[in-house]
Amino acid sequence: MNRICLLAALAVLCAGCATDPGLRVQATVADDLDVIVVPALAATAVDLDAGFAATPGEPGAGHSGTAASLGLGSFVGIAEVAVREGDRVTAGQEFVRLDDRLPRAALAAAEADAKVAAAQVGVLKSAVGKTDDAAEEIAEKRVEVKDAIAELKDKRAEVKKAIGELTETRAKLIKQRATVRANRAQAVAQRKQLQATLAALPPEAPNRPALEAGLAELNQGIDKLDAALKQMDAGLGKLKKGLKQAKTGLSKLNTGIAKATDGLAELDDAADEVRDARAQLVRLQRLASVAVDTSAVGVELARTRLDQAVILASADGIVVEVAATGDRLAPGATLVTLRREGPSRLVTWLSPAQAAATCLGDAASVHTDWGQDAPAELTRIATTAEFPPTSSATDEVHLTRAFAVELTTQTALPAGAPVSVSLQPCRSNPSGAAEGEPHGNS
């Protein structure tokens, strides 16, 4: 009797399996989308320093360029759109061209800066050469001035020697003049005495002729002494004039030596200034050489920013959404939405009892609100139960733990769209399956 009842129960169970329509759940298309946003196009700064570094502390030191940029808060114009919604694209295909006038101008400015920086190397090198020429010229003039000082000192020594000789000669002449004057005074006294003697003698005195001859001789001697005194006075005048001229020349020589010495000091100062200027120019030349290398980086950066104005497809897929020509969008706004090529992925949640009745590879049917049906396959079952999102709550899954499952269909479906899924379980729900308990999927 018990055996008959058991067979009857099995028959009823089998009849239920035969008429079981399967599981019917709600799922969501969870395809990954590539969202391409508007880039922040930044324009490089225009360097107005022409390759020269500003001196720290001076007005405008640091950076005298004018920067132009398109960042957050700015808007980017859409110049050209090459695709439409629904178009199939391949990786690298052009999507959109943004308004690239500012990045293009920035590239031209960066290239101009690079040319200026390169030109400054030659300019500074030429300036260093000019300081070398100036230093050489100063060195030559310094030698000339030193030679002139040496020559002036030699002449001054000669003039001093001449002054000494003239002074000595004058002293001797003055002494000789005094002697001649004394001799003349003595001769004059003798003449007076002889004249007195002749005046007392009678004309017929026998010694009168001898005395008259002696008087004549004294007169001749006095005349010679007067002539000698006259020559000595003239010589003293010439010596006085010569000494005056020599002393004037000595003063001029001293002045010339002093001026030449000051000029030599000025040349030394000029040589120090030229040396400092050359050192500064050499440092600037090194900085200009560095600026040439860094300006090349600026050019590459400007080209990269210009390339950002051309938006390319990141992968093969279908265009879901694209901006229109003439739109002005802020950086970060959605420009193109691309669905990658490949099967659509559906996500849903099953209760522990439902999950226990499913297996990987189970066949399913997808039904959409717009009347599109597609076959699907169960491709993933979670190994642990979790609380599903509130939006996924059903009469089976509500404030309870559930298993996340994924299905795959070769039919492309809109990402995020809700669909109905009819899933044919691989086995009947086992009795006594507890919530959260692992199921026996193979």
Q: What angle do CA 430, 436, 440 make, to 5 degrees?
A: 45
Rounded Cα gap, residues 366 and 409, in angstroms: 8
User: What is the model's pLDDT at position 285?
Assistant: 83
Average pLDDT, the chain: 81
Rounded Cα gap, residues 114 and 51, in angstroms: 9
- Evaluate if residue 60 carries a pLDDT over 90: no
* Averaged pLDDT, 78-87: 86
Q: pLDDT band for position 116 (50/70/90)?
A: confident
Phi, psi angle pair for 416, to nearest 5°: 85, -5
User: What is the model's pLDDT at position 433?
Assistant: 41
* 240-288: pLDDT as tens digits: 889 889 989 989 989 999 999 999 899 999 999 999 999 999 998 888 8
User: What is the model's pLDDT at position 335?
Assistant: 85
- DSSP assignment of 158-182 equals HHHHHHHHHHHHHHHHHHHHHHHHH
- Evaluate if residue 70 carries a pLDDT over 50: no
- Evaluate if residue 359 carries a pLDDT over 60: yes
* 158-187: pLDDT as tens digits: 998 999 988 999 899 999 989 999 999 999
How far is CA 384 from its chain centroid?
A: 59
- Evaluate if residue 399 carries a pLDDT over 90: no
Rounded Cα gap, residues 277 and 279, in angstroms: 5
Domains and CATH numbers, the chain: 118-301 (1.10.287.2610)
- Evaluate if residue 17 carries a pLDDT over 50: no
Question: Cβ(191)–Cβ(211) under 8 Å?
Answer: no
User: What is the model's pLDDT at position 14?
Assistant: 41
When computed from its CA atoms, the radius of gyration of the chain, rounded to whole angstroms, is: 62
Q: Greater confidence, 317 or 56? A: 317
- Evaluate if residue 73 carries a pLDDT over 70: no
* Averaged pLDDT, 26-51: 70
**Model's pTM, two decimal places?**
0.47
What lies within 8 Å, CB to CB, of 190 at 6+ separation is: 218
* Averaged pLDDT, 412-420: 84
